[in-house]
Chains A and B, each alone.
Chain A
Amino acid sequence: EVQLVESGGGLVHPGGSLRLSCAASGFTFSNNWMHWVRQTSGRGLVWVSRINYDGSDTSYADSVEGRFTISRDNAKNRLYLQMNSLRIEDTGVYYCVRNSWGPDYWGQGTLVTVSS
């Protein structure tokens, strides 16, 4: 069974940093691209970032380019999102999502709240 378990969310002040982590199991992690997707206000879904099989190619939404860094450790079956210079508008539930013909399996999400 595919499982994706996120951790690392929390409350942070504007300008602060957080590192999200996603533990993957139930599939061969190195065979899939991976994404981070944010959900805001319980409804809107926004793609944040994606990474290829071995981490050599990454892509970001314009709103996070230069502030967020996606990475992976295939030996540990882990996906990461380093989030710096956080803004209020970065608030939301962050999902780790596997890619197979597009996003398919989603984790349960971790809540990031940016507030003063």
Chain B
Amino acid sequence: DVVLTQSPLSLPVTLGQPASISCRSSQSLEHSDGNTYVNWFQQRPGQSPRRLIYKISNRESGVPDRFSGSGSGTDFTLKISGVEAEDAGVYYCMQGTHWPLTFGGGTEVEIK
């Protein structure tokens, strides 16, 4: 199975400051069809996961543009340009290129 390693595990961030979360894969996530199926999810306390980004960098409808995804191959990044209070929670990367689907271990964003 593909192993996704997220860092850091915990990320304290001051309101208005940027944040960056890394997701590294044990193998390339580029599919033979040319797409790279990397998604990012946000899970606020007490809620279900919500997809923010699909196929590396495509934002879901309604997701603020302060969230952006980038990367290729085995290295991917989620950035928040200026953290707001509502961004507190755990963020997960996920790959859908290789079966079974696998998730990273999560990064907890804490607002200082």
Q: Which of A's residues lie within 8 Å of B, judged by CB? A: 35, 43-47, 50, 59, 61-62, 95, 101-109
B62 → A minimal CB distance (Å): 12
B100 on interface, CB distance cutoff 8 Å: yes
Which of B16-24, B77-85, B102-110 interfaces with chain A? B102-110
Q: List 14 A-B contacts (CB under 8 A).
A: A35-B101, A44-B105, A47-B101, A47-B102, A59-B100, A101-B54, A102-B37, A102-B51, A102-B54, A102-B94, A102-B96, A103-B39, A104-B60, A109-B48
Q: Of the candidates B37, B101, B106, which one forms a contact with A101 in the assembled complex, judged by CB atoms under 8 Å apart?
A: B37
- Interface of B with A (CB < 8 Å)? 37, 39, 48-51, 54-55, 58, 60, 90, 92, 94, 96, 99-103, 105-106
Chain A residues with Cβ below 8 Å from B92 are: 45
Q: CA separation between A62 and B48, bound complex, in Å?
A: 24
Report if A107-B48 is in contact (Cβ < 8 Å); known contacts: A102-B39, A102-B54, A102-B94: yes
Give the chain B neighbours of A45 by CB distance below 8 A: 49, 92, 94, 103, 106
Is B39 touching A61 in the complex (CB atoms < 8 A)? Answer: no
A43 touches B105 (CB 8 A): yes
Given contacts A47-B100, A101-B37, are A95 and B105 in contact (CB under 8 A)? no
Task: Tell me if A95 and B51 are in contact (CB < 8 A).
Answer: no
Of B48, B94, B99, which is in contact with the most chain A CB atoms at under 10 Å from its CB? B48
Given A101-B54, A102-B37, A102-B54, do A46 and B103 touch, yes or no (CB 8 Å)?
A: yes
Report chain B residues within 8 Å CB of A47: 100-103
List of 9 A-B pairs having minimum Cβ-Cβ separation, nearest first: A102-B96, A45-B103, A47-B101, A106-B48, A101-B54, A104-B51, A102-B39, A47-B100, A106-B49
A116 to chain B, nearest CB (A): 29
A105 contacts across to B, CB distance below 8 A: 51
